[in-house]
Amino acid sequence: MVHALIVTSGIVPDVFVSTELIRVYGECGELSVSRRVFDDMPVRSTVSWNAMVHQYVRHSNVGAAYELFLAMPRRDVVSWNTMIAGYCLIGRRREALELFRQMVSPSSCAVHPNGHTMSTVLAACAGAGCLETGIWVHAYIDRNRMNDDGSLDRSLIDMYAKCGSIERPFRLQEAYSMIRTMPMKPNAVIWGAFLNACKVHSNVELGEIAAAEVSRLDPSDPWARVMLSSMYAKAQDWTSLARERKEMNSLQMKKTPGCSSIELDGEVHEFVAGGFQHPQLGEICTIIENMESQTHAG
């Protein structure tokens, strides 16, 4: 209504108002109207261009976003971040990594990536399994001192964990050294990511260290011990598994049971693993038994 009043009154909205209209229409699902507002702008700022690119990305129209991105007279770090994130959003992570290479190339008019750029790029490396690119990105981060505060540590560890393979195992010892030399004390999140990497690559020795650190930092959470128990079972180390289970029992630690819920006719029904509290349990079990009988009969 406000926009209609502006148009009918003959007032030409300034760049700030038009940019906000692009955002509002885009968030309301009116992408074509956002583009019309953008096209009608006599003067556009970089923020205006970024707003339109973002709306295309938001609606998964990355092709149109990229065309607009290429047409931009000037791109800032937000422009590059939006496009890189857009490619990640639709699963085209290798294109996202290629775009990052273009961003840091000498021909990109010296646009410097920020922490958000690097965390997105590391996630793209992890999702695409690009270990070589991940190592190159890590070297770029170190060379430009972008992780002095440790803000990218978890992203780096997660990237290495997901990029490992049987043929090219993740260099866990290198990650362990990185954690030990952090400028601040690693928290439970960092140790948890490292523990997950140890589990993925079946390194029980370092997994025990990580699990001990997670348990020390968060004694009430049984997650680390459950992860370690799983590693012992996979390694068929039954003695260590029994010892870990015994310690968990002595500490009265129990794994939180799985829980799911559905909404039916405005009422939420919750189901807990091993639970028998649902008021219609008998009817549910009867239906399941009938389904199983029909399956076996077929």
Tell me if 122 is assigned to some domain. no
What the block records as the tokens of 76 is 């800032």
Q: What is the DSSP letter of 106?
A: G
- Residue 207 belongs to domain spanning: 166-253
Kind and range of the H or E run holding 270: strand 267-272
pLDDT of 225 strictly over 60: yes
Averaged pLDDT of the chain? 82
Confidence at residue 167, expressed as pLDDT on a 0 to 100 scale: 46
Top pLDDT among 107 and 285 is at 107
Flag the least confident range among 26-35, 58-67, 90-99, 131-140: 131-140
Judged by average pLDDT, the poorest of 67-81, 159-173, 229-243 is 159-173
When divided into structural domains, the chain yields a total of 2
**Residues with Cβ within 8 Å of residue 298, at least 6 apart in sequence:** none
107-118 pLDDT, tens digit per residue, is 766 789 999 999
Lowest mean pLDDT among 111-115, 180-184, 204-208: 180-184
Residue 58 lies in a domain: yes
Helix, strand, or coil (residue 171): coil
Tell me which DSSP letter residue 260 carries: E
pLDDT at position 259 over 70: no
CA distance 204 to 206: 6
